[in-house]
Structure 1
Amino acid sequence: MIQIISNVGFPVVVALYLLVRVDKTIEKSTEALTELTKTIIELQELIKSVSIKEKE
């Protein structure tokens, strides 16, 4: 019985640990991508405003 628990239990615990860890990494990556998207949009707007002023 203990052999079965150790054979099944350990891999399950490791898999759950890795799943939680990967989830946190994905969450941080998503936050970083969202921030980058906002920055790119701001830069695009700045470039448009500068190019409009140059045309005048």
Structure 2
Amino acid sequence: MIKVEDFTEIRRLHFVENATVSELAKRFKLSRPTIRKHLKTVEEPVYPVRNYQPYP
């Protein structure tokens, strides 16, 4: 799972330092489609916080 810090770093590297999608995929060990998905989003992802974790 990608961290919020990684999300902002991916966008910064791509848009400011002109890193390619392939370079970012190798650096963060994510697939190219995942990198592209995060580059297309405008807002940072919001993950809900669970107070109770149900058992399977």
Greater helix percent: which structure? Answer: 1
Taking structure 1 as the reference length, what is the TM-score of the superposition?
A: 0.25
Q: Over alpha carbons, which structure has the higher Rg? A: 1
Relative contact order, higher structure (CA 8 A, sep 6+): 2
